[in-house]
Amino acid sequence: MAKDTIKSVVVDDVDVMRATLKKVLDGFPNIEIIGEASDYESAKNLINETKPDLVFLDIDLNGLTSIDLLNEINCNPKIIFITSHPDFAIKAFELNAVDYILKPISADRLRRAIDRVTELNTDFIEGSAMDESQERFKADQIILLNFDSKLTFIKVQDINYIEAFGNYTKIYMNDGKLSITYNSIKNWDNRLPNDVFIQIHRSSIVNLLNVIKIEKWTNDTGRLFLKGVEKPFEISRSYFFQIKKKYKV
């Protein structure tokens, strides 16, 4: 895909939303809108005819799920989902969508999604970005996470474990609730209190207060058992070495 001009299509069943999105996209000189569609069939035909580089795609098209549309097109555009429905996030990520933006959208949020398409910002972080220069959270600090499209205040120490999920992370709470955030394991590791949380693999961080036991496993790796989780976690060789060096007495 050329980095100077990205041929794009806008798909949304609400006229006002398409107009609003196009107006916001006017501020991005590298985005060229080559068409728009308001329903499933016209979207399929438009994408197959124009073969765009990028599609801004609403999930719900007059009651039909646009995710199914991706199986009926003859090209492979990048997809940025723009939707009011967070329920489809996991499915969208499994389809390697570039991004998943919840309405209402902002120019800044859209810019960061487009940066990912143009590969100008591979370390993109959502919302209240977790910058490495920021101070670490305290264990009893209150932060906001999104659960089932509702922002909820939680205590940091009530996080059970965190798993990488592509460019996103899954945050599992002690009570079993799940939040998905556009963030990286690295940034969580930089912000979480390091006397309570520990990274055990490049894709996972666990709450030390909830660790039941740790045991040696094959090839100098380890296994960790956590409260509320039946399946053990893998501790990679390098992290297992660091854990033993830091904590073993």
pLDDT the model gives residue 184: 85
Distances (CA, A) of 172 to 95, 128, 208, 223: 22, 19, 14, 19
Domain segments of the chain: what residues?
6-118, 142-247
* Superfamily for the 142-247 domain: LytTr DNA-binding domain (2.40.50.1020)
pTM: 0.52
CATH number assigned to the domain with residue range 6-118, chosen from the 4 options 3.40.630.10, 3.40.50.2000, 3.40.50.2300, 3.30.43.10: 3.40.50.2300
pLDDT tens digits, residue range 111-160?
Answer: 888 887 775 333 333 333 444 446 788 999 888 788 876 778 889 999 99
Model confidence pLDDT, tens digit, residues 117-130: 775 333 333 333 44
Angle of CA points 137, 244, 191, to nearest 5°: 15
Closest to 28 measured CA to CA, from 7, 46, 49: 7
Tell me how far apart the alpha carbons of residues 14 and 85 are, in angstroms, rounded to a whole number: 14
Whether 6-118 shares its CATH topology with 142-247 is answered: no
